[in-house]
Structure 1
Amino acid sequence: MSETKHSSKGTNDPKKGRIVIFSSIIVIVLVAAIAIMVYSNLNHKETKPKKQPTHRTEQTTRIDYQGQPFIGSSKAPVKVAVFSDYRCPYCKQFEETVVPKLEKEYINTGKISLYFFNDTVLGPGSVLAANASEEVYHQNPKAFWAFHKAVFAAQKDEKEQWVTKKLLTDIAKKTVPSIDLKAFENALNTKSRQDDVNKDESIAESVGVPGTPAIFVGDKMLEDGLNYDLLKQSINSALKGSK
């Protein structure tokens, strides 16, 4: 009796053999399924169109210039946009060293118009100054640039919280004599022009602005907008293309 029991559990048991074979088939099927999934995924990645690398000077997303502060003729063949922060020292540099050259050579001669966009990257002070500038523009578009330049002229070290309601109010009184102070102070206290600021920042995001200042000639972003020679080349190229 014991020998019979022993032989029924031997290696030649057909039932155990079927279990082993069945288990092997399951493993093979699972491995095959995984292999198919991996291959399919790799194949999908390989056939998916690859995004071509782009250079900043090749940025071609269109900018919405409608309703933005600008200097120059509205009929100028080329538009130049600057995305700027009133607390940014490089933006101040652009305003005080590059813009005067642009005015003399291109703006006053009717070749380009220069547009300003707020891009508040340096905190609450930047947001406050942007709301102030939007309120001035809303009240008196012609006086905007005088206020705009005075704020940059008042700029201090980036680490200082120099933008205050009093400073902005004093600048507004000096540069915009007709200013409605009640409305201006309300803009400072409630950020009533934040929607306009948000619109500018939305445009900045849509065109891939990496930081301030960001300079666009038409719809193409320059690698270094503070390099006047590079800016001139881009403008001259755009002027030729506009003919």
Structure 2
Amino acid sequence: MSDTKRPDKGAVDQKNNKDQKNGRIVIFSSVIVIVLIAAIAFMIFSNQHGNEAKPKKKEPTHRTEKVTRIDYEGQPFIGSSNAPVKVVEFSDYRCPYCKEFEENVVPELDKEYVKTGKISLYFINDTILGPGSVLAANASEEVYHQNPKAFWAFHKAVFDAQKNEKEQWVTEKLLTSIAQKTVPSIDIKAFQNALDTKSRQSEVDKDNDLAESLGVPGTPVIFVGDQMIDGGQDYKVLKKAIDKALSEKK
């Protein structure tokens, strides 16, 4: 009969405590791993969800990029409709700088570019200086509607009559007098009715909307083709821009 040695109680307890400790370490480590995996999975999901919610902005292309262009239809102009370059002045009849442009720059443009068939020069309203500007614009639109050829004589006379910007010098009486002097064939009753009812306001609004869509910051502002010219009120600057546009047409 073999003699079996009885295990020491202290050693057994020590082993059990060690096993329990190792078990707790394994469980704790497993929990940490699970938490880390869950955190990583959440981050991946959130990133994917965010990308879906905020798609990348498309790069502009010739098909997707919106370009605002000038609508010349129905606008008064001087020069040939077949001129290779179109020049546009956005202007206000009460603006003193617009008056300077009309007096100092337009005659030079007319001489060098309009009469030689190189450009056509358009005028478009941009009524930024209040009710007087709107009234004058309505008057000019009515004159253009009745007699397009007489428009420019009326147009020039209104600028000639301009007074200090702080004065409310634009009146129906003044505009009627100018119309009678510059447009002998005008139907004066229809003209006065247009001023009373602002029957040409839709044309004025169209001009103002166009100016806003193009980002016109004030008056006068000059475009050569569809390009706004910085400092275009200066003849030398404008001449350079026109010559460049003409060279590109060759």
The C-alpha deviation readout for 1:178-226, integer Å capped at 9, x for no partner, is 1100000001111010011111112112211111111000010011111
Pick the aligned partner of 2:236 from 223, 229, 232. Answer: 229
Tell me how far apart the structure 2 counterparts of residues 91 and 36 of structure 1 sit (CA, whole Å): 58
Tell me how far apart the structure 1 counterparts of residues 165 and 234 of structure 2 sit (CA, whole Å): 22
Amino acid at match of 2:191: F
Tell me how far apart the structure 2 counterparts of residues 158 and 40 of structure 1 sit (CA, whole Å): 55
Report the Cα offset of residue 75 of structure 1.
Answer: 1.0
Amino acid at match of 1:238: A
1:78 aligned onto 2:88? no
- Higher RCO (C-alpha 8 Å, min separation 6): 1
Q: How many positions carry a matched residue from both structures?
A: 210
1:48 aligned onto 2:25? no
1:90 aligned onto 2:100? no
SS in 1 for 2:133: helix
Amino acid at match of 2:228: M
1:108 aligned onto 2:118? no
Partner of 1:220: 227
Report the Cα offset of residue 61 of structure 1.
Answer: 2.8
Report the Cα offset of residue 49 of structure 1.
Answer: 5.3
Q: Which runs of 5+ in 2 are unaligned?
A: 1-34, 61-66
Q: What is the TM-score with the length of structure 2 in the denominator?
A: 0.76
Alignment of structure 1 residues 85-234 onto 2, 5 Å: 85-234=92-241
Amino acid at match of 1:114: L
Amino acid at match of 2:128: V
Tell me how far apart the structure 1 counterparts of residues 241 and 135 of structure 2 sit (CA, whole Å): 33
Report the Cα offset of residue 50 of structure 1.
Answer: 7.8
Rg larger for: 2
Amino acid at match of 1:226: Q
SS in 1 for 2:184: coil
Report the Cα offset of residue 98 of structure 1.
Answer: 0.6
Tell me how far apart the structure 2 counterparts of residues 159 and 87 of structure 1 sit (CA, whole Å): 9
Kept after mapping to 1: 8 A contact 2:83/2:117: yes
Tell me how far apart the structure 2 counterparts of residues 153 and 36 of structure 1 sit (CA, whole Å): 68
The C-alpha deviation readout for 1:67-119, integer Å capped at 9, x for no partner, is 11000111111000111100011111111111001001100111000001111
1:62 aligned onto 2:72? no
Kept after mapping to 1: 8 A contact 2:154/2:179: yes
Q: Which runs of 5+ in 1 are unaligned?
A: 1-24, 52-59
Partner of 1:242: 249
Tell me how far apart the structure 2 counterparts of residues 198 and 82 of structure 1 sit (CA, whole Å): 16
Tell me how far apart the structure 1 counterparts of residues 249 and 127 of structure 2 sit (CA, whole Å): 32
Tell me how far apart the structure 2 counterparts of residues 228 and 61 of structure 1 sit (CA, whole Å): 25
Alignment of structure 1 residues 6-25 onto 2, 5 Å: none
CA RMSD of aligned residues (A): 2.8
Q: What is the TM-score with the length of structure 1 in the denominator?
A: 0.78
Amino acid at match of 1:174: K
